[in-house]
Amino acid sequence: MPTITPFLWFDGQAEEAMQFYASIFKRSRVIATNRAQGKVISVRFELENQEFIALNAGPQFTFTEAVSFFVGCETQQEIDELWARLIADGGTAGRCGWLKDRFGLSWQIIPNALGRMLGDPVTGQAVIAAMMQMDKLDLERLEAAAAA
């Protein structure tokens, strides 16, 4: 059976990024660090049961918002903790639950309940309107918009 593994291109920060991400997600592990001539060439790691590969390949390509990692959260506490840790040390907040970490990689920190709220034809528009006013998503405010 084929597998799909996200493959990330870094300009010399693959190991640092792997360690950063592994420090944020509770279920994480380093699988391998591959070196050549004393330098890290690539790393393999796992976050929340998803395997990743990262390569130190140079400055030719950078991350864009065209690809992001969607992280579904059950609670506001999870949203708050992941948001704060991912934007730490140079990350930036975006709109509607999006952020960029200090490496420029885009993440979406989203309450799992949002899909249900947006899927309701009666209240979905109110939820969208509330969400459009937020950077980090506020589950209580979204639920209030859905209930209104």
CATH number at residue 43: 3.10.180.10
Note whether 95 and 130 are same-domain residues: yes
Note whether 75 and 54 are same-domain residues: no
**40-45 contacts at long range (C-beta below 8 A, 24 or more positions apart):** 40/14, 40/15, 42/14, 43/14, 43/15, 43/18, 45/18, 45/21
Q: How many domains does the chain have?
A: 2
Note whether 70 and 138 are same-domain residues: yes
Given 59, 78, 99, which residue is the final one in a domain?
59
Each residue's pLDDT tens digit, 109-139: 999 999 999 998 889 999 999 999 999 999 9
Using pLDDT thresholds of 50, 70 and 90, give the confidence band for residue 73: very high
| pLDDT reported for residue 103 | 98
Dihedral pair phi/psi, residue 131, rounded to 5°: -60, -35
Structural domain range at position 118: 63-148
Note whether 147 and 97 are same-domain residues: yes
Which one, of 7, 104, 101, 103, lies nearest residue 51 by Cα?
7
pTM over 0.85: yes
Q: Does pLDDT of 92 surpass 90? A: yes
Note whether 51 and 88 are same-domain residues: no
Q: Does pLDDT of 99 surpass 90? A: yes
Q: Does pLDDT of 140 surpass 90? A: yes
Using pLDDT thresholds of 50, 70 and 90, give the confidence band for residue 87: very high
Each residue's pLDDT tens digit, 16-70: 999 999 999 999 999 999 999 999 999 999 999 999 999 999 999 999 999 999 9
Note whether 20 and 40 are same-domain residues: yes
